[in-house]
Chain A
Amino acid sequence: MVTAHETVQGGGGPVGGAPAGRPRPGWARVAPWISTAVRLGLAVVWVWAGSAKIADTAAAAQAVRAYRILPEALVKPFGYGLPFIELALGLLLLLGLGVRVVAGVSALLFLVYIAAIASVWARGISIDCGCFGGGGAVAASHTAYLQEILRDLGFLALCGWLLWKPPGRLALDSWVSGEA
């Protein structure tokens, strides 16, 4: 039984997949690659979202200010700091370093973003979420709160997968733990 299991794993050790006594050879091989794809997808999202908000500092501040949630003293720290956190999350996912923790932090951030968009929606303020650059007030007919929230829920699902099955193939985590 054990021998068969190890053969299926290609000697790669117990990396995700088949629960003991119910081996699913195909799944055990595919799941880590799905994790890799999810990781890279989420990495692209973070790197894109972060880098789009760095060039124009005034726009970054205004995107935060437009939510009318934070006091003026915190607008710039958040507008300036968050894009760099997003960028760092993206790079860590790309490297596959600390994947479970990064997925957890990412999920937390998406929950905060969803709550912020929902709050703006509920208060009847018309803004662009500024999720991928831009942001600030827009005409009421140009808001897209539902799409923005659904999109973030999709990203949240990706985080969920990574929390469940980190880190996937081609990850520095496996190398650090000697399982590569």
Chain B
Amino acid sequence: MTVMNDKNSGKRAARARLAEQRAKEAAKAKRKRGLIIGGAVIAVLAVAAVIGVVVQNDRAGSGAYASPRGTVGAGGLMVPVGSPAAKAVLMVYEDPRCPACGGFEKGFHTTLNQLEKAGKVRIEYHVVSFIDRHDNGSGSKHAAAALGCAQNAGKFHDYHDVLYANQPLETTDPWADRAALITLAKKVPGLDTPAFESCVNNGTYAGWVSAVEQDFDKSGYNSTPTVLLNGTSAYPTYNGQSITPASLTAAIDKIDS
């Protein structure tokens, strides 16, 4: 009886040892599998990141683009209006779809046009297009590119004023349809030519528009209109005073004299 018991317990102990060893091996295999899977996951993520950077860099393009005739500044990003000799320079960042820009234009474009015709001020326009990102759509980009086409035809300022006079609500995006921009071009005598239409429809200045926008992105200014009079912010306040057509005229006259 005792012998039998010893024999049984010996067998049991051997079985237990075997089971223990198997469990150890299984645990080891599981750890190994976990390490392999973990490494593979990290590798997949790293490859995805590299692919993303390479593909997107390629898609973002080399940065080569055509600027409209007569643009100035580094990269031809600014559209100048008025006498190059004017001592007062108003730098304006405007988005065609931005309602606050519409407000600025409504309040000041008559005054500015008079000052510009009198040779007292030169305006340098940066036509930016970030509203498309905020509110979705493509109206800002299309309008900015059409403004480039108008600049190329020598009729930027008239077309600019027509667009702001007919600005749609920010929440709607009728200028996503380029035909609407061509229809508005008919209000500017001599602008609506076959060359202008194909320039608008082909997005000839789309690359220029995104270069202007990227320059704005990096400028640190983050809203439109941003208006600088000889480098000093001039809208909605200038030197701490709320700006009006009269005070803007006085400030420009002071610089001019």
Q: Which residues of A contact B (CB under 8 A)?
A: 54, 56-62, 65-66, 72, 76-77, 79-85, 87-89, 92, 97-98, 100-102, 105, 126, 128, 134-139, 173, 176-177
Contact between chains at B60 and A57 (CB < 8 Å)? yes
Could you tell me the distance in whole angstroms from the C-beta of B28 to the nearest C-beta in chain A?
A: 14
Contact between chains at B33 and A177 (CB < 8 Å)? yes
Could you tell me the distance in whole angstroms from the C-beta of B227 to the nearest C-beta in chain A?
A: 17
Contact between chains at A85 and B49 (CB < 8 Å)? yes
- Checking B37, B50, B134 against A101 with a beta-carbon cut-off of 8 angstroms, the contacting residue is B37
Contact between chains at A101 and B41 (CB < 8 Å)? yes
Chain A residue with Cβ nearest B221: A137
Interface range on chain B (Cβ under 8 Å from partner): 20 to 34
Contact between chains at A136 and B51 (CB < 8 Å)? no
Could you tell me the distance in whole angstroms from the C-beta of B121 to the nearest C-beta in chain A?
A: 28
Of B57, B60, B213, which is in contact with the most chain A CB atoms at under 10 Å from its CB?
A: B60
A-B contact pairs, 20 of them (CB 8 A): A56-B133, A58-B213, A60-B56, A61-B60, A62-B130, A66-B222, A72-B218, A76-B57, A80-B57, A81-B48, A82-B52, A84-B49, A84-B51, A85-B45, A98-B37, A98-B40, A101-B37, A101-B41, A105-B41, A177-B33
Contacts of A76 in B (CB 8 A): 53, 56-57, 60
Q: Per-position contact with A for B28-58: 1 when CB-CB < 8 Å, else 0?
A: 0010011001101110110011111101110
Q: Is B198 located at the chain interface by the 8 A CB criterion?
A: no
Q: Is B223 located at the chain interface by the 8 A CB criterion?
A: yes
Chain B residue with Cβ nearest A62: B217
Contacts of B213 in A (CB 8 A): 58
Contacts of B49 in A (CB 8 A): 81-82, 84-85
User: A77 vs B50: C-alpha distance in the bound complex, in angstroms?
Assistant: 9
* A134 and B134 in contact, given A72-B218, A88-B45, A176-B33 (Cβ under 8 angstroms): yes
User: A62 vs B130: C-alpha distance in the bound complex, in angstroms?
Assistant: 10
- Checking A58, A80, A102 against B214 with a beta-carbon cut-off of 8 angstroms, the contacting residue is A58
Total A-B Cβ pairs within 8 A: 95
- Kindly list the 5 A-B residue pairs having the minimum CB-CB distance in the complex, ordered from nearest: A84-B52, A137-B222, A80-B56, A98-B41, A88-B48
Q: Which residues of B contact A (CB under 8 A)?
A: 30, 33-34, 37-38, 40-42, 44-45, 48-53, 55-57, 59-60, 130, 133-134, 210, 213-214, 217-218, 222-223
**B-side binding surface: helix, strand, loop or mixed?**
helix
Contact between chains at A89 and B60 (CB < 8 Å)? no
Contacts of A84 in B (CB 8 A): 48-49, 51-52, 55
Contacts of A137 in B (CB 8 A): 222-223
Could you tell me the distance in whole angstroms from the C-beta of A47 to the nearest C-beta in chain B?
A: 12
Contact between chains at A101 and B38 (CB < 8 Å)? yes
Contacts of B50 in A (CB 8 A): 81
- Checking A82, A136, A173 against B130 with a beta-carbon cut-off of 8 angstroms, the contacting residue is A136
- Checking B48, B53, B223 against A87 with a beta-carbon cut-off of 8 angstroms, the contacting residue is B48
Contacts of A62 in B (CB 8 A): 130, 133, 217
Chain A residue with Cβ nearest B40: A98
User: A54 vs B57: C-alpha distance in the bound complex, in angstroms?
Assistant: 11
Contacts of B55 in A (CB 8 A): 80, 84
Contact between chains at B45 and A105 (CB < 8 Å)? yes
Contacts of B45 in A (CB 8 A): 85, 88-89, 105
User: A160 vs B51: C-alpha distance in the bound complex, in angstroms?
Assistant: 29
Contacts of B53 in A (CB 8 A): 76-77, 80-81
